[in-house]
Chains A and B, each alone.
Chain A
């Protein structure tokens, strides 16, 4: 099929679909209209039921906590698969040299980069912990906090170079964080079962609204998610970065 015919077919298909699209688009609720009864119910009930002011965390860790457990293990599987494919080969040694592209000059890291990364790396890591710890009070939570911590580690790499970064981001520790976090979430769900209640039922004391220690069992699940996400993202970065290292034979040359 020539490009001209393809364009003609696209225009024709567009013309055929257009009336239907128009009808559906006109029948949609107006932009930003809060019509979801589920959302309204959560906003009205959850602050008094669970003593939590961040509804997103409440939905994720309590109202549909079991779904989040599934997502947690999806992440675990994805990270494990990536690691299985990429581990081995090269770059396992923390001091491994960077791979070279022939005929390309090596630019040293500028002082400005080091300065900015040393300043913002620390801030980013602290902000990640803050976002994680205040999951039930302010926007954010385990996932966001974990990803922010992982990007803080990335700033460490940019500022300190591969060796300094690998000294902090150690593979066994990251593996433990990843698996341990998911395990913590699963075990937190078993605690109510031991007490004779339903899986993931919120049995811990709920605390006061807007307090850092509010939400009961949500806090434990949240920490589990934060560990798993930070460990998982950092692990994937380590494995990807190892692929840019020189192979053993190149180092020996």
Chain B
């Protein structure tokens, strides 16, 4: 295992821990997105560009967006009452 892979694996663990330890949902969405970027780099370093592309689009753009929109909708609904 090269130094690059070791560093990326450590970063993956750190960013994953970041997602778990973030308590505020809004910040958690961005932590999740950051975790997605790190995973994308890891997959790229492991020579799996197909998976890296999927992870980049789904993990860092689509999923966080859906969470953000849901949080917005919840807040708007709360302020309606």
Contact = CB atoms under 8 A, between A and B. Distances in A.
Nearest to B51: A56
Q: Which size class do B's interface residues fall under?
A: 10 to 19
Interface in B37-81: 46, 49-50, 53-54, 57-58, 61-62, 65-66, 69-70, 72-73, 75-76, 79
B50 A244 contact: no
B16 to A, nearest CB: 19
Most-contacted residue by chain B among A54, A56, A244 (CB, 10 A): A244
16 contacts: A99-B76, A100-B79, A101-B75, A102-B79, A139-B50, A143-B54, A144-B50, A147-B54, A148-B53, A154-B65, A240-B66, A240-B70, A243-B69, A243-B70, A243-B73, A244-B69
Contacts of A243: 69-70, 73
A83 interface: no
Interface residues of A, number: 26
Interface in A87-143: 99-102, 131, 139-141, 143
A170 to B, nearest CB: 19
B20 interface: no
A209 to B, nearest CB: 18
A238 to B, nearest CB: 11
A140 B49 contact: yes
Contacts of A100: 76, 79
Interface of A: 31-32, 54, 56, 99-102, 131, 139-141, 143-144, 147-148, 150-151, 154, 233, 236-237, 240-241, 243-244
Question: From DSSP, what is the main secondary structure of chain B's interface residues?
Answer: helix
A139 B76 contact: no
Contacts of B53: 131, 139-140, 144, 147-148
A144 B57 contact: yes
Contact of A141 (B50, B61, B69, B72): B50
A144 to B, nearest CB: 4
B73 A237 contact: no
B58 to A, nearest CB: 6
Contacts of A151: 57, 61-62
A201 B49 CA distance: 27
Contact of A32 (B1, B57, B70): B1
Contacts of A147: 53-54, 57-58, 62
B34 to A, nearest CB: 17
A150 B57 contact: yes
A54 B53 CA distance: 14
Contacts of B75: 101
